[in-house]
Amino acid sequence: MNHSRKFIALFTLLFTAGCSSTEGVSNSVGNFFRSTEDQPIKIDSEPSGAGVYVMGQKLGVTPLTISRKDVFPLTYPKEEEPQYGKVIIKKDGCLDFAKTISPKIIDAGLHAQLNCGDSTPTSSQTSSDSPCVSETVEQRLDKIKDLLNKGIITGEEAEKARARVLNDL
């Protein structure tokens, strides 16, 4: 009976100590569970000096480190919902670069290779799921049609992409 009281007291102590910390459970070796609640996100661009926009607000210019809470705020206006979790990088003379932030980007950072007319983007962070904001609707729809004709996407994927483009109007 004495052992069960000790076990309950030890369990209660460990449970209370583990739940009271916002930085994760730790010991002399370090944190067992890393707290990522406000892990910073490093953003840079080529060329540098581009504006970084999150939830419609300019936070600074590249290179820049922003808060995860900036990209994923707990509360925001309903009209800003399409911008939730996205970063847009803008520089005069270059096409806008838009990217949805993933856990991989939070860990590794975001490097944007901006298309400024003299070269094509080479960054692995650039993808077709984040179209350049400066493209016209017709250009985006033509790209979808071209991908469908080449067999790169299915008819269902093309319809979904078309709907997203038209929803952005």
pLDDT over 70 (residue 6): no
d(CA 146, CA 46): 29
Give the per-residue pLDDT at 32. 42
75-127, pLDDT tens digit by residue?
A: 888 888 888 999 999 999 899 999 998 888 888 899 999 988 764 444 444 44
CA distances (Å), 144 to each of 97, 133, 135, in order?
Answer: 19, 16, 13
Give the per-residue pLDDT at 121. 44
Label residue 23 by pLDDT band (50, 70, 90).
very low
Report the helix count and the strand count for the chain, using DSSP H and E: 5, 7
Give the per-residue pLDDT at 33. 40
More confident residue, 53 or 161: 53
